Structure 1
Amino acid sequence: MNLHYLILAHTQPAQVRRLVDRLLGPNTYFYVNIDASVELQPFIEAFRGSPPEVNLLSDRERYATSWGDISLVDATLNLLRLALATDKDGYCILMSGQDYPLRSNQRIRNFFQQRPTTNYLESFKLPTKLWCRGGMARINDYKFNLSGQREDCVVIPPIFTRRFFRLGVLKRWTKALARGKLIAHRKLLRRRKFPAYLEPYGGEHWWALTTDTVKDVLAFLIDHPDYRIYHEDTVLVEEIFLHSIVNHLYRDRPERIAPKVTYANWNEESESGPVNFRLQDLDLIKGLSPSFLFARKFDQTEDAEILNALDAYRGEVSV
């Protein structure tokens, strides 16, 4: 079995190299997209001497990504195509540059070999109690970027809806105007309708899919080019795009989808994303289900000892 690690990174060259080094092994391949908005040279230096199985995308190949934007999906699809081009069947595992393995490489491989046709991703049908307003605003409203900065966008419902005239929406509109962004696009004159040929599902962006599933996903997108076009207006699209397709593909075979294998700590409401793990969180990590193979996020400039502790711990746990 081949393992294809797809890595989206934008910071911490040394940490990204450390992640790759920890996962190196037989029949293991890496495809690393460094966000095109950051300087590539520090990553080139960090990856100097890496084996040929590590593919650090060049300036010409890499994608710029924005928070919650279709560009994240495009970058991910590009990595998937690169993995499939090798014609090496197995798993495609999507990671951020701030992920880290919780298990040894052999245990990770054994895990995937035990159920070689199973796809591991968080997925739930929309609407859901897990997301604000059931998550329906994500697929019914229009997202407009104000810049490439994190969360710097506005989400506006179509004009011919009651919600358009609510105070919160008008404030968002005013915010855009104050930034010199005139949001008066003709698309606001029509309602958004999720494509009728599948149901909307959501979940975290990070997953592990079989190469057979990836082939079917890419074929689906060729047959339905309107699906990507629709999602150009979706906020946090990376948490809906592939999840809906995969659940559609296996709507009659639910056993082909299992829970995610990457753990993130969302327990602190003050954070807009998962909290960074520190050495003090080691007991929490040790108490996780053995089906969690990876975790995020880590920052070795804040606490490198947690990574050192995980390197020692991974060989002790049984899967």
Structure 2
Amino acid sequence: MNLHYLILAHTQAAQLRRLVDRLAGPATSFYINVDAGVDLAPFTEAFRGSPPEVHLLEDGERYATPWGDIGLVHATLELLQRVLRTGREGYCILLSGQDYPLRSNEEIRAFFRQRPRTNYIESFKLPSNVWAQGGLNRIREYKYNLSARREDFITMPSPFCRRFYRPSVIKSWVKALLRGKLIVDRKLLRPRRFPAYLQPYGGEHWWALTTETVRDIFSFLGAHPDYLVYHRDTVLAEEIFLQSIVNHLYRNEPDRIAHKVTFANWGTEGQSGPTDLRINDLARLRKLGPGYLYARKFNATVDSAILDALDARTAISN
């Protein structure tokens, strides 16, 4: 079985190299997109002398991946296509550059061998109380970026929807005007509706999918090119895009979908990203069940001791 790691990174070149070295082994390959808005030079230097199984997208190939933007979907699809072109069957495992394994490479491989046709992806049907407004605002309203800064955007329903006249929407409209953003867009004349040929699902972006499933995903996208176009306007499209497709593909085979394999500490309710894991979180990580293979996120410049401790825990079995 081949393990194909897809990594989306934007910072911490040395930590990214440490992650790759930790996971490297037989029948293991890496496909890495460093955010196109970030200087690639530190990453190129960090991976100087790396084995041929490490594929770092070069300038001109990379995708910009700002928070919550469709670029994350495009980058993920590009990395998946590169895996399929190898023809090597196995698992495609999506990580961020600040993830780290909780198990040894042998334990990880044994886990995937147990159920070689199962896809490990968090998914819940929308609307869901997991997300504010049931997540329906993400798929019913149009997203407009006010800048490239994290979370600097507004969402807007069509004026032909009653939601357009809520105080919160009017406030967003005024916010855009005060920022010099006059939003005059013909698509607002059409109420935004999720494609009728599948049920919307949500979930975290990080998952492990079989290469069989990945091929079926691209077949689906080939048959429904409008699906990708629709998600250009979705807030955090990466948390809906593949989750909905996978659940559609296996709507009659629910046993083909299982719990996510990456742990994240979301801390306080409503925060936009997981809390950094530190050495005082080690006991909690050790108590996680065997189904958690990875965790996020870590910052080696703030606390590298947690990474050292995780390495020490798995060194014998590696």
Q: Structure 2-normalised TM-score?
A: 0.98
Identify which range, 174-183 or 257-266, moves more after superposition.
Answer: 174-183
Contact 1:7 1:31 in 2 (8 A): yes
* CA-CA distance at 1:316 after TM superposition: 7.1
Question: 1:31 and 2:26 equivalent?
Answer: no
Letter paired with 2:88: K
Aligned residue number for residue 309 of structure 1: 309
Residue 213 of structure 2 corresponds to which residue in structure 1? 213
SS at structure 2 position matched to 1:284: helix
Correspondence 1:164-313 to 2 at 5 A: 164-269=164-269, 271-313=271-313
Given residue 272 of structure 2, which amino acid in structure 1 is its aligned partner?
A: S
For 1:49, give the aligned amino acid.
G
Offset at 1:187?
1.1
Tell me how far apart the structure 1 counterparts of residues 212 and 274 of structure 2 sit (CA, whole Å).
30
1:91 alignment partner in structure 2: 91
Cα 1:13/1:229, change in 2 over 3 Å: same
Partner of 2:117: 117
Give the equivalent residue in structure 2 for 1:154: 154
1:232 is paired with a residue whose SS is helix
Report the CA distance between 1:272 and its aligned residue: 2.4
- Which digits, 9 at most, give the CA deviation of each residue in 1:94-151, with x for residues without a partner? 0000000000001000000111000000001000010011101100000011122111
- Whether the 8 Å contact between 1:102 and 1:294 is mirrored in structure 2 is yes
Structure 1 outlier segments of 4+, above 4 Å: none
User: 1:48 maps to what in 2?
Assistant: 48
How much does 1:9 deviate? 0.2
- The amino acid that maps onto 1:192 is R
Alpha-carbon distance in structure 1 between the residues aligned to 2:206 and 2:59: 24
Equivalent residue, structure 1, for 2:66: 66
Structural RMSD (CA): 1.1
2: CA distance between counterparts of 1:92 and 1:27? 12
2-structure distance, mates of 1:101, 1:304: 14
- Which segment is superposed worse, 173-182 or 279-288? 173-182
The offset of 1:167, in angstroms, is 1.4
Mapped to 1, the partners of 2:126 and 2:19 lie a distance apart of: 34
SS of corresponding position for 2:149: coil
Q: Please state how far the C-alpha of 1:270 moved relative to its aligned partner.
A: 7.0
Residues matched between the structures, number: 317
AA aligned opposite 1:38? V
Question: Where do 5+ consecutive residues of structure 2 fail to align?
Answer: none
Structure 1 residue 303 displacement after superposition? 0.1
Q: Is the 8 A contact 1:103 1:315 kept in 2?
A: no
**In structure 2, what residue type is equivalent to 1:223?**
A
Per-residue CA distance 1:5-44 (angstroms, 9 max, x = gap): 0000000000000000000000000001000000000000
Q: Deviations over 1:246-273 (max 9, x none)?
A: 0000000000000000000012237421
SS at match of 1:150: coil
Q: Which amino acid aligns with 2:52?
A: P
